[in-house]
Amino acid sequence: MTAQTDLIALINQLQDILSELGTSPLDLPQIAVVGSQSSGKSSVLEAIVGKDFLPKGAGIVTRRPLILQLNYAPVDPETPDEPEEWAEFQHLPGQQFADFGEVKREIERETARIAGDNKGISDEPITLRVHSPSVVDLTLVDLPGLTKIPVGDQPSDIELQIRDLIMKFILQPNCIILAVSPANVDLANSDSLKLAREVDPQGLRTLGLLTKVDLMETGSHALDILGGRVYPLRLGFVAVVNRSQRDIEARRTLEWSRKREQQFFSGRCGTAALARTLNSVLLDHIRAQLPDLKARLSALIAAKQNELVTYGESPAVLAATASGSASPNAVVLRLIALYATEFQASIEGTRTAAALTDLTGGARIFAIFHDGFARALDALDPVSALTVHEIRTAIQNSTGARSALFFVPEAAFDLLVKPQIARLAAPAMHCVDHVFEELLRLTHECCSAELKRFPTLHARLVEAVTALLKEHLAPTRSFVQTLVALQSAYINTAHPDFIGGARAVAQLEKKYARERKRRDAANDQMRRLAHQYSAGPSSAAGASGSSARGAAVTPVYDGTTAPPSAVGTAASPGAAGSGAGSAAAINGRDRDGFFTFMFGQQPGARTSGSAPAGGPNLNGRGVPVAPASEAGGDGGDDDDTMSVASAARPRRAASTERGTHGSDRDPEEFTIALIRSLITSYFGIVKKTLADAVPKAVMHLLVNDTLAMLQTRLVEALYRDEMLPELLQENPALVKQREACRAQLAVYQRAMEVIAQAY
């Protein structure tokens, strides 16, 4: 360890070195002078230096921070011609100022150059070194004085600007705060102590300075303040007496001011004591912070060295390397392999620098398959686009000149289901396109820090991968279209998951049975209400005979049972077996089923000489035919012959008639509901098949085949000697970053050398 006084010189030297970076990354120990405007800050600094060198005047004068480096320089008797005291500015290296009046003018010129001729301020500091045998080694930072009201052409927010500038310095933990307070103002109103308290609430790094003690009111004294009984500070208070403005205007020297101050304090306080105190405080602070400074500087050097490695060597250095892993050929091959590996890792989910906010790569492809494509398939309803007219027309066209004998014609089912299957082609093609777009996005996203150095190489890599993806896109789309076409080529009604005719009919029977129960319950309720309405007030008196009069109650006709006139006809005295016919009609409705709907009532239920009560007339083969009255003849000549008038009549009328007299539902509606159920079932099978087959096809033909050929195709397209100079052209912005990193690293290493010499 060198002499203690060399520690301040060490910090000054570090300050000069790190100032080359503009903003020092290290929090160097320093003393910042803080006080309100006209509190005597500048006068204190001049008293410490012993020279009149700072600008003074009305309003704000100090508009830029002034870093004042005081260096003790004893008189050398061997060089009597050289000045004993001289100053030097950092922005004017090598130029010595022996005239301190010229120093003042240079400060004014440099302030105006950066902060302007108006009253604006700037945080860019001015560094001034003073070499004198009458100073102690010390470094002070003179800051603009605190003000509250803008004066003249000052900006309206001048108070906030000055406050922010001061806080920038005193917020640093290694900054000692010299809080200047005039003694003729109550200490409770001190702006400097208020600001220091915000950043140093315990008063551990604040030194109080009382100025203008000679201007205190008669009878008052500063003993309580200096003794720490008013506002305690760990570093205490120091009192000084400076020249007043009247003394300055009278051109009284600083030597006169010192003698006057000495007479006032009689050796107890003063500028000399302040200088010694500041020197001691700064030395102790530097000594305590030096190990931490060295550790932080070492960390900065290591970080910059790692950053420089990421920038790599320049192409000139690479070209000078004829062989080895750093040769241009090896660099291109390594970057191609790195790009291919990163692209594959993005799809497999093993990429280290994966995004945390959005899905990407393989996760995004999975979402396209199972969220996008699957939901698009589920959203398709096969029967929503089919109208009743279309289904009826398809059934009629598929039977030609004949009527359907049993169930739904298979040709009609094929005719209706194939267009619905064709609707699945659009979401399947969208799935392929979305995966292709995600792979294209990955080609741009996969770019390592080293690859960013060579934008031309990265662009060529993206072009090559895009061309490879487009080559696989067309076969993938064609295969997916084939998958959809295969489903339309053969309608496999024997598929084990297909509902089939029998199960579809059973489900519809259950549905109609539930509806019939609800309807019968509603009819019973209506009959009871009608009976109560027709009975009137006498219903209560005749309640005991209501069961006997039950046959006279008019039932509610719902269009599915025989009308009251039919019931009366069957119960007339001239009809044979009327009671049995009524019972058969009732039992026939209870036993109503699919075969009753298709072939009419059982032959045993018919009575001689009467029409069937449960369904339409049947010929000898059980085929429904129109009654004789509908056919326009007597019905006794030929049961297998249908009149032209009956054939020309819409089938809807016959169906309605059969539903009215034999079944509790419309047969045509039953047929349409049946075919809708069959289409929905088969369409679900096709959707399930495509939801599984399309993602597999896309992964095999588009994703996996691209990955298998990726690195080989990139090497074939880019690994050429004539292309190496173009591919290895660096990004100009990155070149600047590398040079700036090297310059910062050199500064840090020089600073470390300075610290190593002293510690």
Is the domain of 262 the same as that of 357?
no
Q: What pLDDT is attached to residue 495?
A: 83
Neighbours of 454 (CB within 10 A): 23
- Does the pLDDT of residue 547 top 50, yes or no? no
Residue type present at position 650:
P
**Structure confidence by residue, pLDDT tens digits, 692-726:** 999 999 999 999 999 999 999 999 988 888 888 88
Q: What pLDDT is attached to residue 432?
A: 96
Q: What pLDDT is attached to residue 756?
A: 82
Q: CA 627, CA 616: separation in Å to the nearest integer?
A: 7
Q: What pLDDT is attached to residue 34?
A: 93
Is residue 564 in some structural domain? Answer: no
Is the domain of 45 the same as that of 184?
yes
- Does the pLDDT of residue 27 top 70, yes or no? yes
Is residue 223 in some structural domain? Answer: yes
- Choice among 135-149, 353-367, 733-747 with the minimum mean pLDDT: 353-367
Who has greater pLDDT, 707 or 154? 707
Check: CB of residue 677 under 8 Å from CB of residue 507: yes
Unique residue bearing structure tokens 């001015």? 126
Is residue 183 in some structural domain? Answer: yes
Burial of 2-32, coded b for 16+ CB within 10 Å and e otherwise, reads eeeeebbbbbbbbbbbbbeeeebebebbbbb
Is residue 632 in some structural domain? Answer: no
Q: What pLDDT is attached to residue 447?
A: 82
Is residue 121 in some structural domain? Answer: yes
**Structure confidence by residue, pLDDT tens digits, 263-301:** 556 545 677 778 888 888 888 888 888 888 889 999 999
Q: CA 665, CA 101: separation in Å to the nearest integer?
A: 117
Who has greater pLDDT, 519 or 24? 519
Who has greater pLDDT, 580 or 695? 695
Check: CB of residue 8 under 8 Å from CB of residue 29: no
Q: What pLDDT is attached to residue 529?
A: 85
Please state, in angstroms and as integers, the Cα–Cα distance from residue 192 to each residue in 177, 234, 251, 717, 755, following that order: 9, 16, 29, 70, 33
Q: What pLDDT is attached to residue 410?
A: 75
Convert 551-578 into a string of H (helix), E (strand) and C (coil): HHCCCCCCCCCCCHHHHHHHCCCCCCCH
Give, for 347, the enclosing helix (H) or strand (E). Answer: helix 328-348
Q: What sign does the dihedral 726-731-732-734 (CA atoms) show?
A: negative
CATH number, residue 138? 3.40.50.300
Is the domain of 34 the same as that of 104?
yes
Q: What pLDDT is attached to residue 11?
A: 81
Q: Which two tokens stand for residue 751?
A: 């600073």
- Choice among 394-408, 491-505, 549-563, 637-651 with the minimum mean pLDDT: 637-651
Cβ partners under 8 Å of residue 557, min gap 6: 563, 564
Q: Highest mean pLDDT range out of 112-116, 362-366, 380-384? A: 362-366
Is the domain of 184 the same as that of 248?
yes
Q: CA 207, CA 175: separation in Å to the nearest integer?
A: 11
Cβ partners under 8 Å of residue 365, min gap 6: 347, 435, 438, 699, 703
Is the domain of 227 the same as that of 336?
no
Q: What are phi and psi of 13, to 5 degrees?
A: -65, -40
Is the domain of 337 the same as that of 261?
no
- Number of structural domains found in the chain: 2
Q: What pLDDT is attached to residue 666?
A: 64
Is the domain of 382 the same as that of 425?
yes
CATH number, residue 333? 1.20.120.1240
Who has greater pLDDT, 571 or 378? 378
Q: CA 495, CA 491: separation in Å to the nearest integer?
A: 9
When pLDDT is averaged across residues 480-493 and rounded to a whole number, the result is 91
Is the domain of 234 the same as that of 104?
yes
Who has greater pLDDT, 264 or 644? 264
Bridge-partner residues for 176, per DSSP? 31
**Where would I find the H helices in 51-122?**
100-115
Is residue 389 in some structural domain? Answer: yes
3-state secondary structure of 75: coil
Is the domain of 151 the same as that of 263?
yes
Is residue 200 in some structural domain? Answer: yes
Q: What pLDDT is attached to residue 588?
A: 42
pLDDT class of 81 with cuts at 50, 70, 90? low
- Does the pLDDT of residue 638 top 70, yes or no? no
pLDDT class of 633 with cuts at 50, 70, 90? very low
**Average of per-residue pLDDT values in the chain:** 76
When pLDDT is averaged across residues 679-686 and rounded to a whole number, the result is 89
Q: What pLDDT is attached to residue 117?
A: 75
Q: What pLDDT is attached to residue 572?
A: 39
When pLDDT is averaged across residues 361-376 and rounded to a whole number, the result is 90
Q: What pLDDT is attached to residue 703?
A: 94
**Structure confidence by residue, pLDDT tens digits, 417-461:** 888 899 999 999 999 999 999 999 999 988 887 788 888 999 999
Cβ partners under 8 Å of residue 71, min gap 6: 9, 12, 129, 130, 131, 132, 135, 137
Check: CB of residue 753 under 8 Å from CB of residue 316: no
Report if pTM > 0.75.
no
Q: What are phi and psi of 4, to 5 degrees?
A: -65, -35
Domain of residue 454 covers 328-499+670-719
When pLDDT is averaged across residues 57-73 and rounded to a whole number, the result is 82
Is residue 467 in some structural domain? Answer: yes
Is the domain of 267 the same as that of 375?
no
Q: CA 8, CA 287: separation in Å to the nearest integer?
A: 10
Is the domain of 415 the same as that of 342?
yes
**Where would I find the H helices in 359-454?**
362-367, 374-378, 388-399, 410-422, 425-445
Q: What are phi and psi of 277, to 5 degrees?
A: -65, -45
Is the domain of 208 the same as that of 342?
no
